[in-house]
Amino acid sequence: MGVLMRIASPFTSSFCFPVLISPRKHSMKVFVWFLIRFASLLASSLLLLFLIPSCHKNEPCTTCPPSGPDTTSHSFNFTQFTFGGNAGSSYFNDVAIINDSLAYAVGAVYLTDSLGNPDPNAYNLAEWNGYNWQLLRIEFLTFCGQSGTTSAPAEAIWCFNDSDVWIASSNSQITTWNGKSQGAIMCLPVSVSKMWAVNKNALYTVGPLGQIGFYDGATWTKIESGTTLDIRGLWGVVDPMTGEPSLVAVASNGAMIPQGKKLLSVQGLTVSAVSDSGLAYSISGTWFLPGQYYVVGDGLFTTAALGQVWREDSTQPLLYKNAIRGNAANDIVVAGSYGLLSHYNGSSWKQYTGADIPSFNGEYTAVDMKGHMLVAAGWMDQKAVVLVGLRK
């Protein structure tokens, strides 16, 4: 016989439909009714789960994309200065910024004397006062162990503060400058092209033919590097937990004679080679923060950790890059050949050469950045050149 079964739905009023059940199958009545009831409730539950949002209104959504990175301004006012050119080839090798009104460049600037003749004594230090550069002479020993002095070309500079500036010469010596006068001259067991320091009791130098030096406040030590390539770039950071410095040095024989490359990790007095896979054969500078490493030379290369493969940034101009420095991960500057100057603001690179500043026959060999100021220095034809950029 036929019976009517009533099924309840959460979305509609109850309804009836006929189900044919014979007397001999009356025992199946409950089972069939339960089966239909279960199927209806299951469908209703699945629909409710689909309609309910996955994130509550007041809870953070862990799957939402992150907001854009913090950025710094690309906008700088630039002023270029040149020196020498009529008494021999002039150039700057290194720069250091203390603040907006005090910075230094070192190298060799040759001018004429009062009679108009070339003066063989170079001006090897230039001081920025916030408006202009003043050329100065720093004396070094003509030969270590003798009393005679000369204003030999300066190679590198490191500033601890405005009254404690260290300057290295091309003849393996270092002296200090306090803003008014120079201090004692130290003879070193190594040649110097770059310096990096934690303090006056932990200063590192690198130079040609794989030379690395360390000064502990009293004694100079030559550190074995394991290479005879010229070490051309050096940077370091201090571990905030241990207080110990970690340094990276880059070595190659320059842009014109790519005869090999080395990437070196310096920990205390120990030097070890780390993977240079992915780097060009000619590399010249480095800068890094923990978790973000940069090397420049015949390209710009990055990696998240030493030992990993380096990746080249293919968006960069096809010009040689000599130096890189930064304030933070979102405020980095690169300088190089033909007046190359680039800035990274955390999101994009901006190229200034040819639009904001002129290109020229020469190169910026060094760059520094501090706060809202950057300084790049090098040579242009026969002149020394320095560029000051102040963020607007």
Tell me what pLDDT residue 40 has: 52
Residue 273's pLDDT is 96
Question: For position 152, what pLDDT does the model report?
Answer: 96
- Burial pattern 59-91, b for ≥16 Cβ within 10 A else e, equals eeeeeeeeeeeeebebebeeeebbbbbebbebb
Cα 215 to Cα 224: distance, rounded to the nearest angstrom: 14
Q: Identify the CA nearest to 288 among candidates 270, 312, 306, 273.
A: 306
Q: pTM, whole model, 2 decimals?
A: 0.81
| Domain definitions of the chain by residue range | 2-51, 76-391
Q: How far is the CA of 140 from the CAs of 92, 176, 207, 220, 348, in angstroms?
A: 17, 11, 18, 18, 44
76-391 CATH choice from 3.90.320.10, 3.30.450.40, 2.130.10.10, 2.40.50.140:
2.130.10.10
Contacts of 319 (CB under 8 A, 6+ apart): 336, 337, 338, 340, 353
Residue 85 Rama label (left phi>0; alpha psi -120 to 50; beta)? left
pLDDT of residue 255: 62
Q: Are 365 and 387 in contact (CB under 8 A)?
A: no
pLDDT score at 258: 60
Q: What pLDDT, on the 0 to 100 scale, is given for residue 228?
A: 94
pLDDT of residue 241: 85
pLDDT along the chain (392 residues), means of 10: 41 40 43 48 44 40 48 96 94 97 98 92 97 97 93 97 96 96 96 96 97 97 96 95 93 75 96 96 95 96 96 94 97 97 96 94 98 97 97 93
